[in-house]
């Protein structure tokens, strides 16, 4: 779903007035359920982008370890750019997960409150069952997303340490010191990619269930 943002809705989003923000969307026919699906898709895309970025950072680190001539300052600059891009990718992932959480909480609160408005007991039971199932799927999704998110700081920490070390030791011996860190970073990135693949699969499953 492509949400066509208006200046009014954008202003409400920036102001942090979530209830007014959702109400504005509802006036143009966009329900919280639609926003949730849209935000899960955005979170999924940010994780896919982060996978590419962390792989790129790993490649740059591997190239630095294999350094065999040239300007060490250039090596440092490349690694530092990759580290900074990885930090930005990590922040984007976390931000989009938080946005998923925000609208999901609003949706579930509204859904629970509206169950009390039913006069038909059968329809109420059916809606309550669907709410429980949606919450169950959502809990599984958030667990996967937050687990993937938790794998980013160790990679960023290792990259930062090595970038700083190279910055202050621009000599051949510094490259030797980095070599001992390569396997740790490789393992951390591999774990991150696996967890993100799991979160992406959960995202696809959740989106599919919400569209049925």
Q: Enter the pTM of the model.
A: 0.86
pLDDT at residue 66, as a whole number: 85
What are φ and ψ of residue 41, in 5° steps?
A: -60, -40
Residue range 13-56, pLDDT digits in tens: 544 567 788 878 778 878 899 999 999 999 999 999 999 999 99
Residues 50 and 193: their CA atoms lie apart, in Å, by 9
Residue range 136-157, pLDDT digits in tens: 999 999 999 999 999 999 999 9
pLDDT at residue 87, as a whole number: 98
């Amino acid at each position: 779903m492509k949400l066509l943002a208006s200046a009014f809705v954008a202003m409400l989003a920036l102001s942090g007035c979530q209830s007014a923000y959702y109400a504005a969307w509802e006036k143009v026919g966009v329900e919280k359920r639609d926003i949730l699906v849209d935000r899960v898709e955005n979170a999924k895309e940010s994780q896919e982008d982060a996978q590419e970025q962390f792989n790129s950072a790993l490649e740059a680190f591997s190239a630095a370890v294999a350094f065999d001539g040239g300007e060490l300052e250039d090596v440092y600059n490349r690694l530092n750019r990759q580290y900074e891009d990885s930090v930005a990718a990590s922040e984007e992932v976390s931000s989009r997960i938080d946005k998923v959480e925000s609208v999901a909480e609003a949706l579930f609160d509204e859904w629970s409150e509206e169950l009390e408005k039913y006069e038909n007991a059968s329809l109420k039971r059916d809606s309550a069952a669907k709410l429980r199932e949606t919450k169950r799927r959502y809990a599984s999704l958030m667990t996967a997303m937050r687990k993937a998110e938790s794998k980013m700081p160790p990679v960023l920490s290792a990259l930062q340490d090595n970038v700083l070390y190279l910055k202050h030791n621009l000599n051949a011996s510094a490259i030797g010191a980095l070599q001992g860190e390569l396997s740790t970073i490789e393992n951390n990135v591999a774990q991150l990619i696996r967890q993100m693949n799991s979160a992406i699969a959960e995202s696809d499953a959740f989106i599919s269930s919400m569209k049925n």
